Structure 1
Amino acid sequence: MESLKIALASDWFFPSVGGVEYHIHDLATRLVEMGHEVHVITGPGDFPDHELPYFVHRFRGRLTLENVHVSIGTGMLKEVNELYKRENFDITHGHSVYSPIAVGVSNLSSGIRGVPSLITDHSFLGDSPMNPINIALLRLSLQKVDGFIAVSRAVENDLRSILGRSLGDREIHTIPNGIDTGFWRPAGNREEKKEELGLNGLVITTTSRLTKRKRIHVIPLIAARLETREDVNFVIIGDGPERGNIERLIRRYGVDDRVRLVGKLPRENVRDYLQATDVYFSPTIYEAFGIAALEALACGVPVVANNHGGISEVVRHGETGLVSQDDAELLRNLEFLLENPEVRRAMGRRARKSVEEEFSWEVVVKNILRVYRLTIERGPGEPFVLYRLHQAVKRGIGA
Structure 2
Amino acid sequence: MESLKIALVSDWFFPSVGGIEYHIHDLATRLTSLGHDVHVITRFGDYPDENLPYEVHRFKGRITMESSHVSIGAGVLKRVNELYKREHFDVTHGHSIYSPLALGVANLSAGIRGVPSVVTGHSLLGDSILNPVYITILRFSLRKVSSFIAVSDAVEKDMRSILGKSLGNRGIYLIPNGIDTEFWKPPEDKEERKEAIGLRGVVVTTTSRLTKRKRIHVIPEIARRIKEEHGDGVTFVIIGDGPERSNIEQLIKEYDVGDIVKLLGRQPRERVREYLQATDIYLSPTIYEAFGIAALEALSCGVPVVANNHGGISEIVKHESTGLVSHNDQGLMQNLMALITNEEMREKMGRNARKSVENHFNWETLVLQVLDIYRTTMEQADDKPFTLYKLHQKIKKEIANVSLFNL
Q: Give the TM interval when normalised to the shorter protein.
A: over 0.9
- Unaligned ranges ≥5, structure 2: 402-407
Structure 2: how far apart are the matches of 1:384 and 1:332? 55
Higher mean alpha-carbon deviation, 108-117 vs 250-259, is at 250-259
SS of the counterpart of 1:94? strand
1:96-245 to structure 2, matched below 5 A, reads 96-226=96-226, 227-230=228-231, 231-245=233-247
Aligned residues: 399
- Please state how far the C-alpha of 1:242 moved relative to its aligned partner: 1.5
- Please state how far the C-alpha of 1:133 moved relative to its aligned partner: 1.1
Any conservation in 2 of the 1:149–1:174 contact (CA below 8 Å)?
Answer: yes
1:347-358 to structure 2, matched below 5 A, reads 347-358=349-360
Structure 2: how far apart are the matches of 1:273 and 1:75? 43
Aligned AA (1:346) = K
SS of the counterpart of 1:236? strand
- Please state how far the C-alpha of 1:204 moved relative to its aligned partner: 0.5
Aligned AA (2:362) = S
Structure 2: how far apart are the matches of 1:135 and 1:164? 10
Q: Counterpart of 2:294?
A: 292
Give identity over the alignment, percent.
68
SS of the counterpart of 2:216? coil
Any conservation in 2 of the 1:147–1:375 contact (CA below 8 Å)?
Answer: yes
Aligned AA (1:126) = G
Matching of residue 320 in structure 1 with residue 327 in structure 2 = no
Aligned AA (1:13) = F
- Please state how far the C-alpha of 1:200 moved relative to its aligned partner: 0.7
Structure 1: how far apart are the matches of 2:100 and 2:133? 16
Q: Counterpart of 2:308?
A: 306
Aligned AA (1:382) = K
Structure 2: how far apart are the matches of 1:234 and 1:48? 34
- TM-score of the aligned structures, taking structure 2 as reference length: 0.96
SS of the counterpart of 2:101? helix
Q: Counterpart of 1:81?
A: 81
Q: Counterpart of 2:345?
A: 343
Any conservation in 2 of the 1:39–1:57 contact (CA below 8 Å)?
Answer: yes
| CA deviation string 1:244-286 (max 9, x = no partner) | 2212222222222111111111111111110000010111111
Higher mean alpha-carbon deviation, 212-221 vs 182-191, is at 212-221
Aligned AA (1:20) = I
- Unaligned ranges ≥5, structure 1: none
Determine which of 365, 375, 380 is the counterpart of 2:377: 375
- Please state how far the C-alpha of 1:55 moved relative to its aligned partner: 0.8
Q: Counterpart of 2:250?
A: 248
Matching of residue 40 in structure 1 with residue 40 in structure 2 = yes
Determine which of 257, 264, 288 is the counterpart of 1:262: 264
Structure 1: how far apart are the matches of 2:248 and 2:60? 36
- Please state how far the C-alpha of 1:215 moved relative to its aligned partner: 1.1
- Please state how far the C-alpha of 1:102 moved relative to its aligned partner: 0.4
Q: Counterpart of 1:272?
A: 274
Structure 1: how far apart are the matches of 2:335 and 2:392? 63
Matching of residue 385 in structure 1 with residue 390 in structure 2 = no
| CA deviation string 1:99-126 (max 9, x = no partner) | 1110011001000011100111110112
Any conservation in 2 of the 1:120–1:151 contact (CA below 8 Å)?
Answer: yes
| CA deviation string 1:15-45 (max 9, x = no partner) | 1111111111111010000000001111111
Structure 1: how far apart are the matches of 2:64 and 2:253? 39
Structure 1: how far apart are the matches of 2:223 and 2:84? 54
Q: Counterpart of 2:405?
A: none
Structure 2: how far apart are the matches of 1:67 and 1:217? 20
Structure 1: how far apart are the matches of 2:69 and 2:327? 35
Structure 2: how far apart are the matches of 1:167 and 1:381? 16
Structure 1: how far apart are the matches of 2:260 and 2:43? 41
Structure 1: how far apart are the matches of 2:302 and 2:346? 10
Any conservation in 2 of the 1:115–1:380 contact (CA below 8 Å)?
Answer: no
Higher mean alpha-carbon deviation, 74-83 vs 197-206, is at 74-83
Structure 2: how far apart are the matches of 1:243 and 1:73? 31
Aligned AA (2:250) = R
Q: Counterpart of 2:404?
A: none
In structure 2, the CA distance between the partners of 1:67 and 1:217, relative to structure 1 (3 Å rule), is: closer
Any conservation in 2 of the 1:117–1:380 contact (CA below 8 Å)?
Answer: no
SS of the counterpart of 2:335? helix
Structure 1: how far apart are the matches of 2:67 and 2:206? 25
Structure 2: how far apart are the matches of 1:238 and 1:93? 28
| CA deviation string 1:147-201 (max 9, x = no partner) | 1111111011111111111111111111111111111110110000000111111
SS of the counterpart of 1:205? strand
SS of the counterpart of 1:217? helix
| CA deviation string 1:195-233 (max 9, x = no partner) | 011111110111111111111111111112122212111
- TM-score of the aligned structures, taking structure 1 as reference length: 0.98
Aligned AA (1:351) = A
Q: Which stretches of structure 1, 4 residues or longer, exceed 4 Å deviation after superposition?
A: none
- Please state how far the C-alpha of 1:331 moved relative to its aligned partner: 1.0
Any conservation in 2 of the 1:357–1:363 contact (CA below 8 Å)?
Answer: no
Aligned AA (2:278) = A
Aligned AA (1:228) = E
- Please state how far the C-alpha of 1:342 moved relative to its aligned partner: 1.2
Structure 2: how far apart are the matches of 1:244 and 1:126? 24
Aligned AA (2:354) = R
